[in-house]
A and B are shown apart, each in its own frame.
Chain A
Amino acid sequence: MRYEAPDRIEKAVDLLASAAGEARVLAGGTDLIVQMKSEIVEPDLVIDVKRIAEMRGVVEEGGAFRIGAAVSGAELKEHPRLRKVWPGVIEAANLIGSTQVQGRATLGGNLCNASPAADSVPALIAAGAKVIIAGPAGRRELAVEDVVLGPRKTALAKGEIVVAFVLPKRVPLAADAYLRFIPRTEMDIAVVGCGVDLTLDPAGKIIAARMGLGAVAARPLLVGEAGAAIIGSSLDEPALARLEAAARAACRPIDDKRGTKEFRVQIAGVLARRVVHIAYERAKASAKVST
């Protein structure tokens, strides 16, 4: 196996595009190195992207955030603005594994590993995040929900690398939240993950809502119906019942060692209800803080 640690994105793209055998991008390594050790992947070339400055920083540009794909969860958590403006994304990123894993694991890796259960992805979907992709043909943007196609499958072409995530400019009275269900209190892979982003009007009515669900289908989902179910409401019971039903209806889960189909469907509804309450309270509170 060959190891390269280029300092420019173009160099990384070249290496990846021209690789003869199996080439892999190494960010935090918390999935890739596990897969290498268990001989699930046996790359001929590993391209460590952590020396590429563009992929390692967090920049606030006119209210939007550009997060390097190789920034670790622990670093994200230490960014005071990001934590305040996108608490749901940050809590999702910091649910990935242990403290030790958070010291390494990145948003880019969590997305490109293409696991249906990745914690940060439903939160990023809810947030309306986009990814900037660099490749042999130049750069392009893609919505996060369009990146993962199925287990271990992404929309990236050969030679393409996710460089950064862009979180849109926040409007007033908006907030996000993420909840997941696991059997223990830490260290498990999500049995269900649910992220939501809400925008309220001054009267407390929801005017925009996006919900992402993880671990309930072959890939993380944007559940449009769930968002639509609560738009126009202030989370009254009928709206919550519609939300719960929409979340459950979107699930196409499997039975596995982590949970049954029925359990996942049931929990998706429970989490949807719980997480919108958190986001709603945060959005209301944001009026006092942000302006």
Chain B
Amino acid sequence: MSKIHLTTTVNGDAVEALVEADETLLDVLRNQLALTGAKEGCGSGDCGACSVTLDGRLVCSCLVLAVETQGRRVETVEGMAKGGVLHPLQQKFLELSALQCGICTPGFLVAARALLEKNPDPTETEVRYWLAGNLCRCTGYDKIVRAVMDAAAEMRGA
């Protein structure tokens, strides 16, 4: 069976790949484009470690076929820091030790950024519910929620 020629935009760069029809976006990002920041924790949309945005919409890249992204815009954790400067969320996660093992961190960062783009001043409850699809087994979420709230405050001030 012949592969499909995929042309899409990832973190602002035009990229091309030859993909199988049933390959997921996550597999293509990780295995073909060498963008391994998105992780596979479950493969069923239950852990959020593979979170990316697709045309600005937060999705699990394990539940998107790569061919669906033809001509669309994908953003991953690798695109968050700009010009050598960390995104305020990345900086806050570091300052507040909002990560332990770090496997869920890219997903949380991408999801939190999507939240703050929609809602720059979320309550703690809104943060917790928005991030309910991102599992973290290490932290108990406490420091993650604080980091998101603090980053939001800083971004509102900036």
Contact = CB atoms under 8 A, between A and B. Distances in A.
Contacts of A30: 45, 63
A259 to B, nearest CB: 19
B80 interface: no
Most buried by B among A2, A97, A99, A103: A99
Interface stretch (B54-62, B81-89, B92-100, B139-147): B54-62
Given A30-B45, A36-B22, A46-B21, A101 B63 contact: yes
Contact of A26 (B43, B62, B65, B129): B65
A98 B133 contact: yes
Nearest to B22: A1
Given A99-B111, A104-B59, A3 B45 contact: no
A1 B22 CA distance: 7
A74 interface: yes
Contacts of A34: 43-45, 63
B153 interface: no
B116 interface: no
Interface string B113-146: 0110000000000000111111000000000000
B132 A186 contact: yes
Interface residues of B, number: 33
Nearest to B21: A3
Contacts, number: 93
Q: Which of A33, A46, A98, A186 counts the most B-chain CB atoms under 10 A from its CB?
A: A98
Contacts of A29: 63-65, 68
B108 to A, nearest CB: 12
Given A1-B21, A48-B68, A74-B57, A100 B48 contact: yes
B43 A100 contact: no
Nearest to A184: B132
B103 to A, nearest CB: 16
A130 interface: no
22 contacts: A3-B4, A3-B65, A5-B67, A5-B70, A26-B68, A29-B63, A29-B65, A33-B63, A33-B64, A33-B65, A34-B43, A34-B44, A37-B44, A48-B68, A97-B133, A98-B134, A99-B131, A100-B59, A100-B111, A101-B45, A104-B63, A104-B64
